[in-house]
């Protein structure tokens, strides 16, 4: 097991707490919901928040949604890379799981652009830390325009068998590919944690990864029960992920729930039964997001384990990135503030 000296561990935890101080609060969200355009939103971030670091060169009267999203991702990824690089420099191993998360986003984004002439801006401005530590040849993957080229780009990496099932006849879709990618990344992350960490550190890190994977599963189950109630979920792959805190009996009960109310009742009797946000009003993505944010905020505030502080901050930063992208999308389509706000996942004063 790789250990970080107590003094260094304190420095890593302090860095995470200091960076948390720049996370946007309720007042900022109220003001952003009052913006009338993406350009006005970008100007607010430039003039009133730590996002000035990426929006400082904004001089155009208008900014397109794609560029706004790319800059927001740059800000989030730069901060995550800074924390990951510090953990690596101190002799830790957890940064590798953050590289895998980047790999997963890259793989799924590239799948979305298969057959197109361009790649868009969503993965622009990636910090060098991710590019230097990922085993994927980013440029080769960017150039892939079909499954053969994607397969060739991943040859020799840990991801070179991801397309085997589709080559064997399974129908390809981005959603199906995402499930395969998630299972690969979660399995590798779990193996890394079990190899390098023991005791409470291992337990806490695995619990975080399990909850993150389980919340995606819950979202998929809710959607399927709502829109495809007659679907055979045993074949749909929504529970393909082996990284889970659900028991085998709970997984079966979740799959076989007759409808959303039955699914909700089953969920109450799992390890997530005390996550009040999961049983509140609102869309399922907001409920799972609030449960994750609450868990991350609580862990960051009280943990004495530096690796837990690291992943907790990452979860909070990624949530903020998603919030800003939601606001920009809402402004793009002219949605009223209350409708945009219904999809945001924000801190409560107690957090």
User: What digits encode the pLDDT tens for the residues 28-64?
Assistant: 999 999 999 999 999 999 999 999 999 987 766 578 8
Structure confidence at residue 1 (pLDDT): 43
Q: Where are the domains of the chain?
A: 92-196
| 122: confidence class by pLDDT, cuts 50, 70, 90 | low
Given a contact cutoff of 8 angstroms between Cβ atoms, the answer to whether 93 and 125 are in contact is no
| 348: confidence class by pLDDT, cuts 50, 70, 90 | low
Lowest mean pLDDT among 20-24, 27-31, 107-111, 266-270: 107-111
User: What digits encode the pLDDT tens for the residues 306-344?
Assistant: 999 999 999 999 999 999 999 999 999 999 999 999 999
| Contacts of 16 by beta carbon, 8 Å cutoff, 6+ apart | 83, 300, 306, 309, 310, 312, 313
Q: What is the C-alpha separation between 340 and 33, in angstroms, rounded? A: 8
Which residue in this structure is represented by tokens 């969200």? 29
**Single pTM value for the model:** 0.92
Q: Which residues of 291-327 are buried (b: 16+ CB within 10 A; e: fewer)?
A: bbbbbbbebbeebebbbbbbbbbbbbbbbbbbbbbbb
């Amino acid at each position: 097991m790789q250990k970080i000296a107590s003094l260094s561990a304190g420095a890593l935890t302090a860095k995470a707490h200091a960076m948390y101080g720049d996370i946007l609060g309720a007042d900022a969200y109220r003001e952003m919901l009052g913006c009338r355009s993406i350009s006005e939103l970008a100007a607010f971030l430039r003039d009133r928040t730590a996002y000035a670091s990426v929006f400082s060169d904004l001089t155009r009267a208008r900014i397109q949604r794609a560029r706004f999203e790319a800059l927001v991702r740059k800000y989030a990824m730069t901060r995550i890379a800074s924390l990951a690089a510090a953990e690596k420099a101190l002799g830790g191993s957890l940064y590798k799981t953050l590289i895998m998360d980047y790999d997963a986003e890259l793989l799924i984004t590239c799948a979305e652009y298969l057959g197109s002439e361009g790649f868009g801006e969503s993965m622009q401005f990636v910090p060098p830390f991710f590019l230097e530590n990922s085993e994927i040849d980013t440029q080769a993957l960017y150039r892939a325009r079909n499954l053969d080229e994607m397969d060739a780009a991943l040859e020799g990496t840990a991801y070179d068998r991801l397309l085997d099932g589709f080559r064997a006849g399974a129908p390809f879709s981005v959603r199906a590919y995402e499930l395969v990618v998630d299972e690969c990344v979660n399995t590798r992350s779990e193996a890394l944690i079990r190899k390098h960490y023991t005791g409470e550190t291992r337990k806490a890190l695995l619990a975080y990864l399990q909850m993150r994977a389980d919340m995606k599963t819950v979202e998929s189950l809710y959607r399927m029960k709502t829109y495809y109630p007659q679907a055979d979920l045993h074949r749909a792959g929504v529970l393909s992920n082996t990284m889970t805190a659900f028991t085998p009996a709970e997984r079966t009960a979740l799959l076989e729930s007759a409808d959303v109310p039955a699914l909700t009742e089953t969920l109450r009797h799992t390890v997530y039964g005390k996550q009040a946000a999961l049983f509140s009003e609102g869309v399922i993505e907001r409920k799972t997001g609030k449960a994750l944010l609450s868990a991350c905020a609580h862990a960051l505030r009280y943990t004495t384990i530096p690796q837990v502080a690291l992943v907790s901050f990452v979860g909070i930063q990624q949530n903020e990135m998603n919030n800003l992208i939601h606001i920009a999308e809402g402004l793009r389509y002219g949605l009223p503030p209350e409708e945009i706000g219904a999809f945001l996942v924000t801190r409560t004063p107690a957090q």
